[in-house]
Chains A and B, each alone.
Chain A
Amino acid sequence: MSHSETHAEGTNYLNCQKGIWSWMTTLDHKRIALMYLFTLTFFFFVGGLSALVVRTELFAAGAQFLTPKQYNNFFTIHGVVMVFLFIVPGIPAIMGNFLLPLMIGAKDVAFPRLNLLSYYIYIIGAVMALISLVPINTLPFISQGFSDWLVNTAGLGGPVDTGWTFYAPYSLAKSGTQSAVIWMTGAAFVLGFSSILTGLNFIVTVHKLRAPGMTWGRLPVFVWATYATAIIQTLATPVVGISLLLVIMERVFGVGIFDPTLGGDPILYSHLFWFYSHPVVYIMVLPAFGVIGEIIPVFSRKPIFGYKMVCGATFGIALIGFVVWAHHMFTSIGDTAAYVFSFLTFFVAVPTAVKVFNWVSTMYKGSISFNTPMLYAMSFVFLFMIAGTTGIYLATLAVDVFYHDTYFVVAHFHYTMQGGAVIGLIAALHFWFPKMTGKMYNETISKLTFVLVMIGFNLTFLPQFVLGMKGMPRRYFDYTGLEHFDLLQTLHATSTVGAYINALGYFLALINLLYFFWFGKTKAPANPFNSLSLEWQTQSPPIHENFAETPIVTDWTYGYGTKKDA
């Protein structure tokens, strides 16, 4: 299918134009993907460092080096940065942008200019979020009067300490550092627009720009996953936009919506918040499912098992994801509502289980090689089993009464978000590294960092399940004097050690990839892993418009099997 290797030897999307300006004004989806990659990596480390601060404080009982207020600031920064600035844009903005047009044989996304605009809207949102995290009144170089004006009039008295959920009425207090909530919610509102526009762009791209012969039934599973994600982005994000706007109205104009002292209802806020923030979980994790669905067939030399079920399950999860939001609120909603939302929540488990079964079955009778992406994909199956089964506890009404807002929940969603979304992204970055950079990464170093990440991650979060079983509530600055204190202390210390190993693993993985990007000697061939999907049929890295000539698709993407007698 490919002739491009001989066609444009030497030029590619990375070197076809030079200079920072050519990057800042680029309309090339691949360059925009890389810009997202570097920006998001920065925020991943900001969020990661604040997590280390939190874990260090919890290493031993009693105050270590923070005040309670600072502790609350740091877990808020961790949550806000990781959720809104890293994981939500995460795989769609980086891998979706890079791969979607390549995988369907298109030159770019449907609206390249809108794509660049999405990036800059993201940057504006990110800057607003950062502003609300700055402790203005402690800055030495600002005069007292100006600092008072910034805090009292401009609402810049950060850092915010509400947690990433901004629950009312706590987030509505106008005094103190909560005044910066307005900037933070404003940031989330702006970031939402970036997400909606990216989603729209992807939907139109998949509908309109598929290469000849690339029928819906031949689309790679990653495209299906990104497409489903884009639908959620477009439908759910406006709701959080509305609710954050209502918070701003309430704070600025005193309109009573959520604040009980103004006649509002704080539970209404929780409903609106989770109506978005639950589907957003699937924005984070569905693309990771897509990545795993691409990697396992390539390294097993087998077609993805149950293609239609895998893609159908993706849509099943996306749809059910819209009607289960109130399972975050079992301890505050009415009993009948709790029954309904609990029952519905269980139906997320079914399509998720179907996916896991299909991934494992794909390996049956394969020819399996253990490159780093495959190791990450296999570890993903293990981590997601833990994430999924611990989700069953939380869906079970009588059991959630015990676990709600304990460390069990913290451990559970880190297994989905980090074990799912982050591991999925790291797997993707290794797998498509040759395509994105035109270089090969070093397998040995990559496997070493993989081992560090696995040990660190599980050491951090397995003890937190036990903390939750002992009733330890989350967001506690100190655990001195709580029931089972000795055990809590041991588990917290272990978890902190794990967090440091985990961080080291990610840091080395990043250094490794960056090093081989810039200094790597081994040039990547067009298709180092012998994949059949379209992005590998053009040169590495691809030329500016992806394909020298529009590819014509004649087969399903997953024809890896060659043996006649199955």
Chain B
Amino acid sequence: MFRYLPEQASKHAADVDWIHNLITDLSVLFTVLIVGAMLYFAWKYRKRNGVDHETPQIEGSHTLEIIWTVVPTIICIIIAYYGIIYYHDIRKVDPNAMTINVTGQKWFWEFEYENGKKTTSEFVIPVDEPVRLLMQSKDVMHSFFIPSMRVKRDVIPGSYTYLTFTPIKTGKYQAYCTEYCGDSHYAMLANLKVVSRAEFDAWVEDKGKIITDPAKRGALVYKAKGCNTCHSLDGSRIIGPTFSKLFGSEREFADGTKAVADEVYLRNSIYNPNSQIVKTYSPGLMPVFEGQIKEEEMLDVIAYIKTLDGSQPVVEVEEEEVVVDPASMTPEQRGELLYKNNACIGCHSLDGSKVVGPSFQGLYGRQGEFEAGGTYTADEAYIKESILESNKNIVKGYAPAMPAYQFKDEEIADITAYIKSIK
């Protein structure tokens, strides 16, 4: 009876549910017995015909008092014992547990893996392997609760707390904030995906595609930092002002002054939100993002907000797209980024076709002749020379059309690595 607990997705869930259901059965039994006895007495000893009958002066019974003191005491001690034993299991950390750092902040969750991969509002763990969440809060108290895993722990500013469990089923689960933390407490959710070890490895190593469109990168920052919790894109008012048609509009502040929402205003509002509060909005709600959003990300966010002027559709980002720090990329990835950002693609194809200059496909190691005579082998030195002094030696069949690029040595090495990868 009353078996309503959600799916058991962690190793210890079955134990918790067992003691839970034992309490349920005992509770139902005792409630039925006691309320049943009360109703039976009420019916059997009811006053008849409006006249009281004589009643005995029963003042108590030592035997009964002892029974109904001792029996509940024993039952309580048994339940308390199992509650404590299972709690001990819930809290015990396996020495092989993978640690994920969790940061709670009004009103989103951030996750950081051992290899530096970071996610927001979503985390992935491998099935059948113990995991430990090491949690901290950047502002007020939060609490991390995954119903299907039967775990919950408060997340406290100024200290670390932890949660540990071993998932036993793959699937999608939810995590909630369960310590009241203000306006968007109800929206402070996170998604948990439990996947196979192989899927997990692929996921955790994948540090994302390179995105060249600044507005698109800005859209990712908007999502990753949880801006969407308070700032809408469709003109509706949530907690803070909408981003729709924000850029270039005139803002009126609580003190009556006005300003146009330009780049300077937007940067200030993000890094130092309480300095300029728009009329009818409350100060103190928006976290200070100084140190959280980098300067280059700031430019991306501004680029994104600029696109929201209603003249074009809202930039959509796919679920797996993630903004990454160039330092954590491979040389090929950085080379690809340089290739795209410097518009190399305009002249050098990747598929062997001839555009303006030679294709990059299979370029590395290629041998050929120059217009002015002589042969070359496309090695590191040749590629470097071709970029820095582009018109010195022109390959046969091409015009001297390429501008000289002042790349640094590291950048040239990255581009070379990228060219090497295009076979």
Contacts and interface: CB of A to CB of B under 8 A. Distances in A.
Interface string B167-179: 0000001101111
Given A332-B156, A393-B20, A484-B6, A347 B54 contact: no
- Which of B4, B72, B285 lies at the interface centre, i.e. has the most chain A CB atoms within 10 A of its CB? B72
A366 B4 contact: no
A254 interface: no
A386 B31 contact: yes
B284 interface: yes
Contacts of A149: none
B187 to A, nearest CB: 8
B64 A361 contact: yes
B60 A308 contact: yes
A566 B57 contact: yes
A307 B46 CA distance: 23
Interface stretch (A20-28, A121-129, A395-403): A395-403
Contact of B34 (A68, A360, A476): A360
Given A161-B182, A350-B73, A398-B86, A562 B34 contact: no
Contacts of B47: 367-369
Given A332-B161, A368-B46, A363 B41 contact: yes
A427 to B, nearest CB: 15
Contacts of A400: 83
Contacts of B173: 483
Contact of B4 (A261, A470, A562): A470
Interface in A340-398: 342-343, 346-347, 349-350, 353-354, 356-358, 360-361, 363-370, 378, 381-382, 385-386, 389-390, 392-393, 395-398
Interface string B27-69: 1001100110110011001110000111111111100110011
Interface string B64-96: 110011001100110110111111111100000
Interface string A298-340: 0011110111110000000000000000000001100100110
B178 A381 contact: no
B245 to A, nearest CB: 22
Contacts, number: 298
B239 A364 contact: no
Chain A contact residues (Cβ within 8 angstroms of B): what range? Answer: 35 or more
A482 B189 CA distance: 9
B117 interface: no
Given A367-B52, A482-B174, 6 more contacts: A162-B180, A346-B80, A347-B73, A367-B47, A389-B23, A474-B180
Interface of A: 68-69, 72, 161-163, 167-170, 173-178, 260-261, 265-267, 300-303, 305-309, 331-332, 335, 338-339, 342-343, 346-347, 349-350, 353-354, 356-358, 360-361, 363-370, 378, 381-382, 385-386, 389-390, 392-393, 395-402, 404-406, 466, 469-471, 473-479, 481-484, 558-563, 565-566
6 contacts: A69-B239, A302-B58, A332-B141, A332-B153, A342-B84, A563-B54
8 closest Cβ contacts across the A-B interface? A561-B57, A260-B158, A175-B284, A471-B147, A566-B56, A389-B27, A396-B83, A398-B86
